[in-house]
Structure 1
């Protein structure tokens, strides 16, 4: 896949998709981009969430597609003076947390894994944290990621109990909006 264009999130189809996930447009526009890309000589567009890897790597989502442009990577949002880290499995969970808490930006350093398979990329940043709040999915991969951090001795707190009857934070706000 090749990046054609990164622009402010404006496309009505993508905005409808984001709003179907119950993310307010103003919050979405703060963190997400409209990404146009080429795949097998066809042009596509998706919502893009920038990663730490390089300026051309994004987690991509649309109603019909979930994938990557560039390489799969985490996103770190540092907060100066923070000794606590909020750790999210996906960017819609991160945006859902901000929506639920009525914040527009994180209050502590935040890492979005974009997949539990990216957990190793976050380990260096997790070192030295006094507490790591884990907002993982209530599934096998989420429990395994939490267990791996716990086994290594990180000061983790499982926050999935806050949404125990749901798979993830985004599902909570989607169900509550019905």
Structure 2
């Protein structure tokens, strides 16, 4: 059972995991205010993997799930996006840093130079 606070967090998770094929149930709360509606469903699961926001509301929701689902192993995955509010913020920051690296040539990019006395690489394909 995977639990996400928001739909964008779930979509970001799928992007990070490159659209995994999994057979787990998923709950998207859209707000921790909806947690009460999800508790009966969560209580039917042995393992609950949480991807909640790293804020007071997320910590409170996690504590409530642990308290109301004592038969379940509750696993907090918020350490995976440490330093970010949620999975979506983590993914956006990761993409921004990747875009910045793509704009800046790598100092370790190999240059193609012909050996002395040899013709250079073919250009144009003919």
Unaligned runs of 5+ in 2: 97-126
Of 31, 50, 65, the match for 1:115: 31
Tell me if the contact between 1:119 and 1:145 (Cα under 8 Å) persists in the aligned partners: yes
> Per the alignment, in what secondary structure is the counterpart of residue 133 of structure 1?
strand
Larger Rg, first or second structure (1 or 2): 2
Matches within 5 A, 1:11-90: 85-90=1-6
Q: 2 CA distance for matches of 1:95 and 1:142? A: 18
Deviation at 1:106, TM superposition (A): 4.8
Of 29, 40, 44, the match for 1:128: 44
Instruction: List structure 1 runs of 4+ shifted beyond 6 angstroms.
Output: none
**RMSD (Å), alpha carbons:** 1.3
Count of residues in Structure 1 that have an aligned counterpart in Structure 2: 94
TM-score, normalised relative to structure 2: 0.70
More strand by share: 1
**Structure with larger RCO (C-alpha < 8 A, sep 6+):** 2
Tell me if the contact between 1:138 and 1:160 (Cα under 8 Å) persists in the aligned partners: yes
More helix by share: 2
Q: 2 CA distance for matches of 1:173 and 1:90? A: 14
